[in-house]
Structure 1
């Protein structure tokens, strides 16, 4: 089958689930470690809780003042 030919879907329209192996699980675990973030989240002052996250923590000092206004 060439790359231009389309593979027909199964007759019932469902896409069969792939077999998941131990190698898949190890790779998923390795990838999830890249997203581990233990930093606290902070609410941006004056946003009534609408803007928050770890990036906000990086923007504010210990007193809640902007690190960039200095």
Structure 2
């Protein structure tokens, strides 16, 4: 799986601080997702980020099956 949070944030010139402030998700969690260090992110957290970014879950997270 690959997440596109860093790409989306860059395109929209958003900061982790702004997303954390507006969504009430901790900055630590946002940064862990951004740097793809997060291992167990709640679906509710991802949905909250998607709602904030006005994007679908499939735009935020890409699933690529193992070859």
Query: Same fold per TM (> 0.5)?
Result: no
Higher fraction of helix: 2
TM range (shorter): under 0.3
Highest relative contact order (Cα 8 Å, sep 6+), 1 or 2?
2
Task: Flag the structure with larger Rg.
Answer: 1
